[in-house]
Structure 1
């Protein structure tokens, strides 16, 4: 998919991405929530190395989760392959950490 236009340290150019939103949400809104896939390996939280992939290699950058209009022809989105469930679960857990609404709303302990 195409990440341009971008600003500041945002991901740019055409690159692979992982769709992390549910199909019913995608169909109802025309948007998908995605995490870009980068080729530079980072050894810090929020970056998940892809293993067992045939067509795509690198790391999922869950820090730069974003919403994009998948109906826009400018985005040029094409499905390449699926990610293994274990890695997807780790990424989903990190995304839940980003949106810790209990802590934000002080509903926690």
Structure 2
């Protein structure tokens, strides 16, 4: 049976693996592509239906990461004094900014 600390460490490892995989995929693609949600939004920006759908997709993705962070906080492997939503936004936003800068540097 897993201890509380082992479960929390597994959640944190999963979050790290998620961001590492996203980064590796971007490097493998030679910095092409980037965030599918942002790219679609930029290409098809006149549609309220699309905007609403992309906003929902973004929220679901972000909320999944935030849920994992909150669970890791509850397990004691992530600081509990930081709200998980802003922390998630910084992590996901930082990844998107890094992708954008890498893509521009590769051009």
Shorter chain as denominator, the TM-score bin is under 0.3
Q: Which structure shows the higher helix fraction? A: 2
Question: Whose strand proportion is higher, 1 or 2?
Answer: 1
TM score, norm. by length of structure 2: 0.28
| TM-score normalized with structure 1 length | 0.27
Give the structure, 1 or 2, with the largest relative contact order (CA under 8 Å, sep 6 or more). Answer: 2
Greater Cα radius of gyration, structure 1 or 2? 2
